[in-house]
Amino acid sequence: MNEKISRARQIAAVVITVIFAAVLIGDLVKIQIFEKDKYEAAVSSVSSRTSVIPAARGEVLDCNGSKLVYNEQGYAVIFDGSFFPPSSESERRNEIIIKLIKLFEKNKIEWEDILPLEVRNGKLEYKQDSDALIAEMKSRDMLNLNEYASAENCYDALVKLFSLEKYPLADALKIASVRYGMMRIGFGVGVTYTFSKDVPETIVSAIMENSTFYQGVDNQIVPVRTYSDGTLAPHLLGMTGAMDAESYARLKDKGYRMSDYIGKSGIELALEDELKGKDGEMTVYTDDKGNRTAKVTKEPEQGNAVVLTIDSGLQKVAQDALKDALESYAGTIGNRVPNAGAVVVLSCKDSAVLASASYPTYDISTYAENAAKLNTASGSPLWNRALMSAYACGSTAKPSVALAALEEGLIDEKFTVYCSGAYTYYGQTFKCEQAHASAFVDVIHAIDESCNTFFMEVGRELGIEKMNEYRIMLGLGSKTGCELPEAAGVLDSPEYRASLNQEWLPGYTIQSAIGQAGNLFTPIQLANYVNVIANGGTRYRPHFIKSIKTADYSRTILENTPEVMCETGISEETLDIVKRGMLRVGTVGYCAPYFDEVPVKIACKTGTSQEYRKLNGYSVKINNGFLIAFAPYDDPQVAIAAVGEGMISGKYLAPVIAEIVEYYCGMADTVDTQPADGEFIP
Q: Same structural domain for residues 491 and 562?
A: yes
- Residue 342 has what pLDDT? 98
Which is it for strands 60-61 and 305-308: parallel, antiparallel or unpaired? parallel
Which comes out higher in pLDDT, residue 408 or 130? 408
Read off the pLDDT of each residue in 159-163 and give the average, rounded to a whole number. Answer: 96
Q: Same structural domain for residues 452 and 333?
A: yes
- Residue 6 has what pLDDT? 59
Residue 151: in which H helix or E strand, if any? helix 151-162
- Residue 494 has what pLDDT? 97
Q: Put residue 182 in one of left, alpha, beta given phi > 0 → left and psi -120 to 50 → alpha.
A: alpha
Answer whether 624's CB lies under 8 Å from 335's CB.
Answer: no
Chain segment 627-676, per-residue pLDDT in tens: 999 999 999 999 999 999 999 999 999 999 999 999 999 865 544 434 33
Chain segment 588-599, per-residue pLDDT in tens: 999 999 999 999
For residue 148, is it within any domain?
yes
- Residue 34 has what pLDDT? 52
Chain segment 87-111, per-residue pLDDT in tens: 999 999 999 999 999 999 999 999 9
Which comes out higher in pLDDT, residue 285 or 584? 584
Task: Residue 646: give the domain boundaries.
Answer: 312-362+383-667
- Residue 13 has what pLDDT? 55
- Residue 677 has what pLDDT? 39
Q: Lowest-confidence range among 87-101, 244-258, 425-439, 586-600?
A: 425-439
Q: Same structural domain for residues 542 and 596?
A: yes
DSSP state of 302: P
Which comes out higher in pLDDT, residue 192 or 443? 443
For residue 377, is it within any domain?
no
Give the separation between CA 296 and CA 601, rounded to whole angstroms: 61
Q: Same structural domain for residues 577 and 478?
A: yes
682 pLDDT higher than 50: no
Band of pLDDT at residue 12, cut at 50, 70 and 90: low
For residue 214, is it within any domain?
no
Answer whether 491's CB lies under 8 Å from 472's CB.
Answer: yes
Read off the pLDDT of each residue in 136-165 and give the average, rounded to a whole number. Answer: 95
678 pLDDT higher than 50: no
- Which of 19-28, 356-365, 370-379 is predicted most confidently? 356-365
Read off the pLDDT of each residue in 281-295 and give the average, rounded to a whole number. Answer: 75
What's the mean per-residue pLDDT of the chain? 89
* Phi, psi (degrees; rounded to nearest 5) at 538: -105, 130
Q: Same structural domain for residues 356 and 460?
A: yes
For residue 369, is it within any domain?
no
**Among candidate residues 308, 335, 370, the one where a domain is terminated:** 308
Work out how many domains the chain is built from and give that number: 3
- Residue 3 has what pLDDT? 55
Give the separation between CA 94 and CA 175, rounded to whole angstroms: 7
Read off the pLDDT of each residue in 150-166 and give the average, rounded to a whole number. Answer: 96
Read off the pLDDT of each residue in 248-275 and give the average, rounded to a whole number. Answer: 92
Share of the chain above pLDDT 90, in %: 71
For residue 202, is it within any domain?
no
Three-state DSSP class for residue 402:
helix
Read off the pLDDT of each residue in 7-31 and give the average, rounded to a whole number. Answer: 58
- Residue 1 has what pLDDT? 47
Q: Same structural domain for residues 464 and 551?
A: yes
Cis-peptide into 632, omega within 30 deg:
yes
- Radius of gyration in angstroms for the set of CA atoms belonging to the chain, rounded to a whole number: 32
585 pLDDT higher than 60: yes
15 pLDDT higher than 70: no
**Among candidate residues 308, 324, 344, the one where a domain is terminated:** 308
Band of pLDDT at residue 29, cut at 50, 70 and 90: low
Q: Same structural domain for residues 135 and 163?
A: yes
Q: Same structural domain for residues 513 and 566?
A: yes
Q: Position 13: which residue type?
A: A
Read off the pLDDT of each residue in 507-514 and give the average, rounded to a whole number. Answer: 95
Q: Same structural domain for residues 126 and 150?
A: yes
- Residue 7 has what pLDDT? 63
Three-state DSSP class for residue 297:
strand
Read off the pLDDT of each residue in 413-437 and give the average, rounded to a whole number. Answer: 88
Q: Same structural domain for residues 284 and 317?
A: no
For residue 317, is it within any domain?
yes
**Could you give the C-alpha distances from 220 to 4, 51, 217, in angstroms and in order?**
67, 11, 10
**Could you give the C-alpha distances from 254 to 186, 251, 269, 547, 672, in angstroms and in order?**
18, 5, 15, 23, 34
For residue 200, is it within any domain?
no
Q: Same structural domain for residues 573 and 646?
A: yes
Q: Same structural domain for residues 349 and 293?
A: no
Q: Lowest-confidence range among 199-213, 601-615, 651-665?
A: 601-615
Give the separation between CA 522 and CA 177, rounded to whole angstroms: 40
- Residue 40 has what pLDDT? 52
For residue 16, is it within any domain?
no
Give the separation between CA 473 and CA 475, rounded to whole angstroms: 5
User: Bridge partners of 219?
Assistant: 77
Give the separation between CA 224 and CA 202, rounded to whole angstroms: 17
CATH code of the domain covering residue 283: 3.90.1310.10
